[in-house]
Amino acid sequence: MTNLEKRVAKMEQAGADVDLKSMSDEELRAYAAKCPSGSSEMYAAVLALVGRRPSAFPVVHDDPERPWARKQG
């Protein structure tokens, strides 16, 4: 096994043992920071963290206080 194959196997094993749902926000941030930039593991951690927050966008499409949110049609 080459050095590259060993590194890839090690990274795959490290990613397989992670339970993102059970991590705290700080643990998710630390995990995302240690993952290679642009990797699927990093994006999974960031999306898990962002998914815990409520949306800032209005849910009601015809809210009279937000005319820009109304459906055009």
CA separation for the pair 17, 23 (Å, rounded): 12
Going by pLDDT thresholds of 50, 70 and 90, the confidence category of residue 71 is low
| pLDDT for the residue 19 | 86
Per-residue pLDDT tens over the stretch 5-62: 888 887 777 656 688 889 999 999 999 999 889 988 899 999 999 888 877 666 666 6
CB 71 within 8 A of CB 61: yes
Helix/strand/coil percentages in the chain, nearest 5: 55, 0, 45
Domains of the chain, residue spans: 3-53
**Beta carbons within 10 angstroms of residue 35's beta carbon:** 20
Does residue 60 contact residue 69 with C-beta atoms inside 8 Å? yes
Give me the pLDDT at residue 18, please. Answer: 80
